[in-house]
Structure 1
Amino acid sequence: MANTSDISKGCFLRFNNELVQVLEYEHRTPGNLRAFYQVKMRNIKTGKLVEHRFRAGEDVELVRVDVNDFSYLYDEGPSLVLMDSETYEQISVDKILFGESLKFLKEGMVIKVSFDGETPIYAEPPTSVELEVTYTEPGIRGDTATKTLKPATLETGAEIRVPLFIEIGEKIKVDTRTGDYMERVKS
C-alpha cells in the first residue's frame, strides 16, 4: 500500500473501487489545521471528474499501469486498430479513450496506450500534430493587425479556427489537447 505522499500527476489510483487518473494534486496546510492533499481525478470508465481530500499519510491504492507505443492503422466502427511497433501485434482500442483528440488522428501516428493487465484503459495521442489545411476562406490582404480567426477544415476533417493569413494547402501545428492552432509549419 502506498500513501498520499506517493501521489503524482498522471498516476492511476483505485478510488471507491473505480480506476481513476490523477489530473491535479495540491498539498495544503491551512493555518493550525492538519495538512491534506486536494486531488482532482478523472474516472477512466465514465470520464467524470472527481475531487477528494486525502489526509496526509492516508493509504491509497496505486495501480501499476503498463504504457506502450502503438501506431494508428485505421478506423473500425466504434474502435481504432493500433499496431505495436515492436511485436507488430494489432489491437482494437475504443474511441472513447481518445476523447476530443480523436478528430486530429492521422494514420501512422504514434499513440501511447496504458494497460491495466490486458485491458486498454487510457490512450494519449501526441500533444501536437502537423496537419494540412484542406479548406478555408481566403484572408483579406493587409488584415493582419488584429488577432481575428477564421474557420478552417483540416485533412482529418476536423474544424478549427486559424489566423487570417493561413491558406489552403499549408501545414499547421495543432494542439490535440485543446484543438487550438499553434503555428504554421515551415517546409
Structure 2
Amino acid sequence: MPKINGNEIRGGNVLEHNGGLWVAVKVDHVKPGKGGAFAQVEMKNLRNGSKLNERFRSADKVEKIRLEQKDQQFLYETDGMLTFMDTETYEQIELPADLLGDRRPFLQDGMIAVVEFHEAEALNASLPQKVTCKVVETEPAIKGQTASKSFKPAVLDNGVRIMIPPFVGVDEDIIVDTETMEYSERA
C-alpha cells in the first residue's frame, strides 16, 4: 500500500493507523508561528465507529488504503443487521444498520448501494445520492404563498420529516438528496 506524508492527508482518505482502519473526517492544516507545520486530523474507526484526533507532521508517513467498491443489492434487515447481495456472485454479506445513521430510512428493498471492502471485509455502505419518496402528510398550500421562497414541513412514506416547496401536495413523488436530506425536485 502507498505511504503518504502527513501533510498529504485529505478528508475522506482511509488510513491504516495504530493497527486499525480509519477514515479522515476532518483535516485542518496548521502552520504555527513557531515550529513546523502539521495536519490536525479527526478520524473515525471503520470497524467500531470510535473517534480519534491525531496530529501528523509533514515528515510522518501514514499508509493510505484503497477500498474496493462493489454495487450490492439490499435484501432485508433483521436484528439491526442489513443484508446485501452481490448481483453477480449472489454472495450475501451483513452490515450493522447504524452504519447508515439517519440515512437508514432511505434504504429501500431491492435498492443498489455501494459497499466498500478491504480484503474481503465489508466496512461501509453508501446510498445513491438521489432517492424517490412519496409525500404522505403535509399542509395544504396557502394561496399567494408561492411568490416567496418558502417551504412547508412534510412527512415522507419512510417516516422522515423534511421541508418541501408549497406547490408539492400529498401523494406526490419527490426526489430527496440523501447526503443533505433535503428536497431536490419532483419525480
C-alpha offsets along residues 38-87 of structure 1, whole Å, 9 cap, x if unaligned? 22222224434433220002021333422211111222231122111222
Distance in 2 of aligned mates of 1:100 and 1:112: 17
The SS at the match of 1:47 is coil
Give the equivalent residue in structure 1 for 2:102: 100
C-alpha offsets along residues 113-141 of structure 1, whole Å, 9 cap, x if unaligned? 11233332111111221222122222212
State which of 67, 71, 74 in structure 1 corresponds to 2:73. Answer: 71
Counterpart check, 1:164 vs 2:169: no
Distance in 2 of aligned mates of 1:42 and 1:149: 35
The SS at the match of 2:141 is coil
Give the equivalent residue in structure 2 for 1:57: 59
Contact 1:100 1:177 in 2 (8 A): no
Higher mean alpha-carbon deviation, 161-170 vs 145-154, is at 145-154
Distance in 2 of aligned mates of 1:152 and 1:6: 43
What is the root-mean-square deviation in Å for CA atoms of aligned residues?
A: 2.3
Report % sequence identity.
Answer: 38
The SS at the match of 2:105 is helix
Provide the TM-score with structure 1 as the length reference.
Answer: 0.84
Q: CA deviation at 1:95?
A: 0.4
Distance in 1 of aligned mates of 2:176 and 2:49: 23
The SS at the match of 2:55 is strand
Distance in 1 of aligned mates of 2:164 and 2:8: 41
Distance in 2 of aligned mates of 1:4 and 1:127: 31
Distance in 1 of aligned mates of 2:150 and 2:28: 37
Q: CA deviation at 1:97?
A: 1.5
The answer for unaligned runs of 5 or more in structure 1 is none
The verdict on how the C-alpha distance between 1:145 and 1:47 changes in structure 2, with shifts beyond 3 A counting, is farther
Distance in 1 of aligned mates of 2:26 and 2:146: 38
Provide the TM-score with structure 2 as the length reference.
Answer: 0.84
C-alpha offsets along residues 100-159 of structure 1, whole Å, 9 cap, x if unaligned? 111111222221111233332111111221222122222212212344432222222322
Contact 2:7 2:29 in 1 (8 A): no
Distance in 2 of aligned mates of 1:113 and 1:164: 36
The SS at the match of 1:96 is helix
The answer for unaligned runs of 5 or more in structure 2 is none
C-alpha offsets along residues 2-32 of structure 1, whole Å, 9 cap, x if unaligned? 1325533322123333321112334443445
Give the equivalent residue in structure 2 for 1:121: 123
Counterparts of 1:42-53 in structure 2, within 5 Å, are 42-53=44-55
Aligned residues: 185
